[in-house]
């Protein structure tokens, strides 16, 4: 099973690495890092990832994972990611996104007529692209799965493992990852975070 992890400048590392850890360790999976060119790609916080193939070379994949990140605007403007998604999505078994990666799916026309989720800070932007935006952490609609912000990519990947290989495999994967979130603060969403923290986050994310 070929799983294509989509790379572009300014993506968020955890959007990529969270799903990668859950999916790439499945024995049936061959993981590919695919980008516009073979040059290393820098994430928004500085981590550098080296592609293993390019958009021109990889013409099909069973599963597509599109991370988000502060570089989503540049990726939208560049158009290379969306163009590749239009080519490979029709034959893929699953097409997925994490965080603002949903906006790239929308630009490619993959979310037309579908419900989807994304990072809470860009719900309006996703809605402006004609998408029925939901606040769920993971939304499954046919062969398309979208996840909310950043850490929700792990939830998305575990959901996908369950859909492909069954609940027991997903539970095994969760246990091996020791994915048992018990955060020290209740500030993981705009509904639970203090108002001043939400305001600061909106300002910082707006600048990005």
10 Å CB burial of residue 39 (0-12, 13-18, 19+) is exposed
Residue with tokens 């994915």, as numbered in its chain: 179
What distance in Å separates the CA atoms of residue 128 and residue 187, rounded to the nearest whole number? Answer: 27
Q: State the pLDDT at residue 102.
A: 98
- Would you kindly state where each structural domain of the chain is located, as residue ranges? 2-182
Q: How many CB atoms lie within 10 A of CB 151?
A: 18
Question: What are the catalytic residues?
Answer: 99
Contact residues for 156 (Cβ-Cβ < 8 A; gap 6+): 19, 96, 98, 138, 145, 146, 147
Q: Who wins on pLDDT, 207 or 171?
A: 171
Q: State the pLDDT at residue 127.
A: 97
Tell me how far apart the 2 most distant CA atoms of the chain are, in Å. Answer: 47
CB-CB contact of 11 with 44 (8 Å): yes
CB-CB contact of 166 with 28 (8 Å): no
2-182 CATH fold: Rossmann fold (3.40.50)
pLDDT tens digits, 84-135: 999 999 999 999 999 999 999 999 999 999 999 999 999 999 999 999 999 9
Q: Report how far apart, in Å, the C-alpha atoms of 161 and of each of 46, 84, 86, 156, 193 are.
A: 29, 24, 24, 9, 31
Q: State the pLDDT at residue 107.
A: 97
Is the pLDDT at 206 greater than 90, yes or no? no
Q: State the pLDDT at residue 162.
A: 98
Q: State the pLDDT at residue 196.
A: 96
What distance in Å separates the CA atoms of residue 67 and residue 80, rounded to the nearest whole number? Answer: 14
Q: Model's pTM, two decimal places?
A: 0.97
Strands 138-141 and 144-147: antiparallel
What distance in Å separates the CA atoms of residue 202 and residue 74, rounded to the nearest whole number? Answer: 19
Is the pLDDT at 36 greater than 80, yes or no? yes
Render the burial of 75-100: b for 16+ CB within 10 Å, e for the rest: bbeeeebbebbeebbeebebbbbbbb
What distance in Å separates the CA atoms of residue 116 and residue 77, rounded to the nearest whole number? Answer: 21
pLDDT band for position 208 (50/70/90)? confident
Is the pLDDT at 148 greater than 80, yes or no? yes
SS3 assignment, position 154: helix
């Amino acid at each position: 099973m070929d799983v294509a992890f989509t790379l572009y400048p300014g993506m968020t590392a955890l959007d990529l690495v969270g799903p990668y850890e859950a999916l790439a360790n499945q024995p049936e999976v061959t993981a590919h890092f695919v980008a516009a060119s073979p040059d290393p790609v820098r994430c928004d916080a500085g981590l550098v990832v080296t592609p293993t193939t390019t958009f021109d070379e990889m013409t099909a994949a069973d599963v597509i994972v599109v991370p988000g990140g502060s570089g989503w605007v540049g990726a939208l403007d560049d158009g290379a990611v969306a163009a590749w998604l239009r080519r490979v999505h029709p034959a893929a078994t699953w097409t997925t996104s994490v965080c603002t990666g949903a906006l790239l799916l929308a630009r490619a026309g993959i979310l037309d007529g579908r419900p989807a989720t994304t990072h809470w800070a860009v719900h309006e932007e996703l809605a402006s692209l004609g998408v029925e935006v939901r606040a769920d952490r993971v939304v499954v609609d046919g062969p398309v799965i979208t996840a909310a912000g950043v850490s929700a990519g792990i939830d998305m990947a575990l959901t996908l493992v369950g859909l492909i290989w069954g609940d027991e495999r997903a539970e095994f994967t969760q246990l091996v990852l020791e994915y048992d979130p018990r955060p020290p603060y209740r500030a993981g969403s705009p509904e639970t975070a203090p108002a001043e923290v939400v305001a600061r986050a909106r300002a910082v994310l707006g600048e990005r």
